[in-house]
Each structure stands twice: as structure tokens, then as C-alpha cells.
Structure 1
Amino acid sequence: MNSDFVPIGQASKILGVSIQTLRNWEKTGKLLPDFISVGRTRRYSRRRFLSIAGLTNSETKEDQKVTIAYARVSTNEQKEDLSQQIELLELFC
């Protein structure tokens, strides 16, 4: 099996959608599997489904994740603490 073809579970992770969404796309014709085995295992062309998602082979939804950090203090007198929190969060992220 060529690595250019991936099963439905892997395709759903790369695209950032559920397996059911891929099945719904198949029903509507938006994304058809390149082949389905006798046991109904779907295989998708990596290049084709990434182009539908507007991605290249080198970037996936997982690569595009963003990290958000949150810092807060209760009073204005703790502004220095807030600066320290932000600094630590920036180092961590």
C-alpha cells in the first residue's frame, strides 16, 4: 500500500474533521475515496484531499494549531506579578 493513500481515520485527523464528516462528504460527492476494499475500508489520495482542504503536503491542520496563554491578577497592585506570569508563559510556549 502506497503512503500516498491513507485510511479514513488518518484522513480525518489530517483534515481536522470527524470520520462521519468524511462519510457525509462521500455521500454528497464532495470527497470520494480513491478506492474502497471489499471490507469497505476507504482509502484517500493524500494529495487530492489536501488540495480540497486548501493545504499542501507539507502542512496539515495539526501544523496550524495555535497556542493561547492566559495570565491574570486580581488587583492593580499585582501588575509586577502579571509581568512575571506573562514572561513565564512566553518562555513555556
Structure 2
Amino acid sequence: MVQMMSDAIADLRDPQVQHMEADLLDLVSGLWQPTASEVECLIDHLAGCPYCQILLATFVVQIAADTQDAASSEQLDHILSQLAATVHETLGKS
């Protein structure tokens, strides 16, 4: 599923921008514990990059599908709604 979504958003990927695919995957996988300054850089990048925003949402959906924890379903819906709103806002600025 992640590969399918990545292919679908490939046209949003600006080749002149250093994207954070590996960092995002490591973050959601629990392999990366960013410092405060790394979090700040990540947020700054995500604020203006619809490609990475959608990639992050894709990772969140995949993790949710893998875990299927009913208790976190409401939290997941909230997170995905926020990500969707952010993506729409960012794309509207383009």
C-alpha cells in the first residue's frame, strides 16, 4: 500500500528539495528519536511540503492497518483529519 501511495504522489515530489522520506519512516517506526532541533527542522519542512505530508499520512494509515487497535481509532481519525487539512492548505498555496 505504501508503494502504491508513493507512486500516486510522485508528481508532488520536487526534485530540487531534500525530502525526508527516511526520517519520516524511521520516526513512525520508532527507530528515530529526534532532538528538539531535528523536530523543528522536520516541522518546518512538513509545513511546506505536500509530498512529505502525504507520505507521513500514508505511513500513519499503514501502521493503523497493521495494528487495528480500536482504542486508538478515534485518535487516528483526528490525526488523519489534521493531516488532510494541512495537505489541502499547502496545495492551495502552490
TM-score over 0.5 (shorter chain)? no
Which structure carries more helix by proportion?
Answer: 2
**Which structure carries more strand by proportion?**
1
The TM-score normalised by the length of structure 2 is 0.22
Q: Which has the larger radius of gyration?
A: 1
TM-score normalised according to structure 1 size: 0.23
